[in-house]
A and B are shown apart, each in its own frame.
Chain A
Amino acid sequence: MASVPHDHTHGHGHDAAHDHDHHPTGIMRWVTTTNHKDIGTMYMLFSFVMFIAGGIMALGIRAELFQPGLQVVRPELFNQLTTLHGIVMIFGAIMPAFVGFANWMLPLQLGAPDMAFARMNNWSFWLLPPAAILLISSFFVPGGAAAGGWTLYPPLSIQSGIGMDMMIFAVHIMGASSIMGSINIITTILNMRAPGMTLMKMPMFAWTWLITAFLLIATMPVLAGAVTMLLTDRHFGTTFFNAAGGGDPVMFQHIFWFFGHPEVYIIALPAFGVVSQIIPAFSRKPLFGYASMVYATASIAILSFIVWAHHMYTTGLPVAGQLYFMYATMLIAVPTGVKVFNWLATMWRGSITLETPMLFCLGFLFLFTMGGFTGLVLSLTPVDIQLHDTYYVVAHFHYVMVAGALFSAFAAVYYWGPKWTGWMYEEKLGKIHFWWSLIAFNVTFFPQHFLGLAGMPRRIPDYNQQFENWNMISSVGAFAFGLAQVFFIWVVWRMATGKSGIRAAAKPWDGAEGLEWTVPSPAPYHTFETPPVVK
């Protein structure tokens, strides 16, 4: 991948003594690297490993839910699986994947030689594996892993064993990593753009990441504060969340969701950025309403800070609170709608081809819009009273998260993969992966809407027979979806090792735009040592 030899034909404007890549070889190369491409690759590999780990947990859950009764896991292990599945997928899989794309692509898109703080970049990656080890190994400590749900609501999370402490520590570490990554991204974007690239000429991916990085810096300390209070409640006699000592368990939920709702957009916005790059490329037409896309992204980010309590309608908020949060939440539909309409208008009267990256973007559009609509349904307080903590919510956020984040991540891998590896993927295999994933995803999650409506709560290992049919279908879909990702490994393996046999041109997509396509494929170890000039 990024370890291809330095391309000596590439122009250099610097001292010949630095003409070679002075990096150690073997494992130390990866441990000590400060190269944005190496670090980007490591982020992506890490995120994929975590994606597989979280996926195996999900399959454990779906195996248990295949039919009523207890067959595969005990209830306590079931709760550990649901909890760790959520944390691992959000913090281990989705967020690092997009940080990986940012590391690889932002310097290339902005015409910068590397990220602003190269050593900090190394550290923000290497903090992640210890956090992952803490999370995964917590299954094997006395009492098992944290089992209070990824939302960590006290008092339940105060009852549990050492697994919860490991999770709290892991969250601290991952939060520190995210903050460092964000500082790096903001500084790179604001200070290291090529001459002539004004902010309003930046690729959308850079814009969405700039806004996301600010969201991360604003919210990660809030989460860190929340889990620290949990920790002191657990071990040091404080009573932040214990009514007996003057605290309030619901206060945790307010603090958590003040982080948690922006977190949804931390995941979604970079995905919007990817889609905003790919749809114009395969429509061979510039992005419609670039400026309004930027404004819509910013307003989604700002709105995301004032809607947190829509996760808490059933806690017994005051009536005025329920009404306010309902109105504010409904309002988010407007800028989100603007984005979808802009993407449609970009395609309209274009010259469209349907390569795999485009297919995944269309899949993203279709599923994300569906998740957006169920979000609108859930925004109405009275309806949410029925649907809160049911499988309808599970379906809703998987439509948003899997479709929003995962499908656009797949699109990014197929779109930029040739730039990373120097080889094309095989179009036929990519398309099989797309259709397989799309169908399996819907088979898994669409029936969960019905389950939630009919009254099946989430986070239960066992249920009445009235829910059996849709659960069976959902479980079959889940295993098919898991298998599709094994197929994806194979497709990417063939691309990365050149087994696909098709060399990638510097610009493999005729409609693509941006500085990243001006460097050869695979991208040389060092790029843009002399900044390009953007007109």
Chain B
Amino acid sequence: MNATAHQYFRASARAAHSFSWDHVKFEQQHMKARASTIYGRFLSRLGVVAGAPLAAGPAAADWAINLQQPNSAVAQQMYDLHILITIICAVIFCGVFGVMFYSLYAHRKSKGHKAANFHESTTVEVIWTVIPFLILLGMAFPATKAVLDMRDSSAPEMTVKVTGYQWKWGYDYIHEGFGFMSTLSTPLAQIMGQEAKGENYLLEVDNPMVVPVGTKVRVLVTANDVLHAWWVPALGVKQDAIPGFVRDAWFRADRPGIYRGNCAELCGKEHGYMPIVVEVKTKADYDKWLAAEKEKRGLGKAAAAATVIDDKVYTKEELVAHGEQVYQSAGCVGCHQANGKGAGSFPALDGSKLVNGPKDPVIALLLNGKPGTAMASFKHLSDKDLAAVKAYIGASWSNKVTDLAQPIDFTKARNGGQLPAGAQTSAASGSSSGAAPAATAEANSEGAPRQALFRPRQ
């Protein structure tokens, strides 16, 4: 994931510390240059309104005026309930304002209408208190039924734990023993208007949540840092993610397909950039996906129940080359910058005593973060990634570190200085990908968020 929005905003976090007009100015110039095209596009869009309102085809979504097409029984009930109450409201509205407009038309002083002097009628007042009450009573029945269905998360066929982070989602397939992060994949250039926006602009992620069709899926929703809300309109689920608490919700997708939603609770500056994508597959395809994911993580049949560790000794060049990518993709560059000089309260790596010192404190810092600062734990990265990024930092700019850390050093550091019991070496399993061990799925949910902007206070 090169140059996505997340890195960009982290890089600009410095600006947030002291409110900067530079950005605004830059944007204004940027806007001026585009003003003429915007105006033209706006006119052409109005042309669409006049010409063919609600035209069929792709344009229809642009003028959508109703809830998204439901893809679960619960979402269908919500949809129907909304239609029903909107029609009832519209009818009453027309009735009430029909009377008002008639009165405004007929009882005008300019038409010589003389004012009557009545100002009370108990009968009328009782009628217009009781009738609305009865209408409400009628609406309460289907609504109550929908609430009861919506909240009945009993007897799920599978369970996925969903964790909101600033600003991404974590999905843990807790009965399968693995999990992954799901991050916005829209490139920054699209956001800044330097590239044409893709069809799923801001509604696309690197790793979607995958579930089988026709299966009752229970989601356990929680958060790691602040409130988030997991919302997929077509599935009829919106559940706040609350740090320290687990809430549940459920859905059963009717049809395979890709369903998109957003975080629906303000969670900081990138609230608008943490979409949710759920890919509903046929049961056979889901099983294939599941097997592939397990295989990828060393959880396949061959390696069932064993933890695979990467004990290969890499050369410095191998590590540095890989580490350069990790420095970008893991977000280090956002705070510490490409030149290693840091920014504002983010310390410089270039010439840093810690970086140029012995390896163990650096390993500990990468794994655990530094509480009370923006330096988060990066233990969700694989041992190889961590070793590589350490090597890259140590060999870049003016740094000349000779004490190379290998992936196995991180494996040991994670496990209190020992190799995990019953571990299988990568040489034996034939895998050197260094994917995170299964345990990291759980570890992830403890990892501190990447807070570029503000210092966490606990």
Contact = CB atoms under 8 A, between A and B. Distances in A.
Interface of A: 66-77, 79, 139-140, 142-144, 147-149, 153-156, 158-161, 234, 242-245, 248-250, 283-292, 314-316, 319, 322-323, 326-327, 330-331, 333-334, 337-338, 340-342, 344-354, 362, 365-366, 369-370, 373-374, 376-377, 380-383, 385-386, 388-390, 449-450, 453-455, 457, 459-466, 468-470, 472, 476
B89 A377 contact: yes
B93 A370 contact: yes
Nearest to A60: B24
Contacts of A234: 457
Nearest to A335: B129
A342 B403 CA distance: 84
Contact of A334 (B132, B242, B244): B132
Contacts of A322: 147, 151
Nearest to A140: B19
A341 B63 CA distance: 35
A285 B116 contact: yes
A327 B140 contact: yes
Given A283-B115, A353-B109, A463-B202, A457 B264 contact: yes
Nearest to B127: A341
Contact of B191 (A69, A283, A390, A468): A69
Interface in B242-283: 242-245, 247-249, 261-273
Contacts of B16: 74, 76, 143-144
25 contacts: A70-B27, A75-B270, A143-B453, A156-B267, A159-B456, A242-B458, A243-B242, A250-B242, A283-B107, A285-B115, A292-B125, A314-B238, A334-B133, A348-B107, A352-B104, A353-B109, A373-B92, A380-B81, A382-B146, A388-B264, A453-B67, A454-B68, A460-B272, A465-B62, A469-B48
B457 A315 contact: no
Contacts of A140: 19
Interface residues of B, number: 122
B103 A344 contact: yes
B150 A72 contact: no
Interface stretch (B229-237, B378-386, B412-420): B229-237
Interface in B181-197: 190-193, 197
A142 B17 contact: yes
B239 A316 contact: yes
Given A334-B132, A351-B107, A362-B104, A455 B261 contact: yes
Interface stretch (B94-102, B309-317, B332-340, B427-435): B94-102
Contacts of B286: none
Given A349-B116, A369-B96, A74 B23 contact: yes
Interface string B131-156: 01100100110011011101100000
Contacts of A331: 136
A338 B133 CA distance: 11
Contacts of A287: 119
Contacts of B120: 288-291
Given A288-B118, A319-B148, A369-B96, A386 B136 contact: no
Given A159-B454, A249-B243, A463-B202, A385 B100 contact: no
B36 interface: no
B301 interface: no
Nearest to B108: A352
B12 A468 contact: no
Contact of B115 (A249, A289, A350, A460): A350
A346 B121 CA distance: 12
A390 B264 contact: yes
Interface in B67-116: 67-68, 74-75, 77-78, 81-82, 85-86, 89, 92-93, 96-97, 99-100, 103-104, 107-110, 113-116
Sorted from nearest, which 8 A-B pairs have the closest CB atoms? A243-B244, A460-B272, A316-B247, A382-B146, A454-B64, A373-B89, A351-B115, A349-B116
B348 interface: no
Contacts of B133: 334
B261 to A, nearest CB: 7
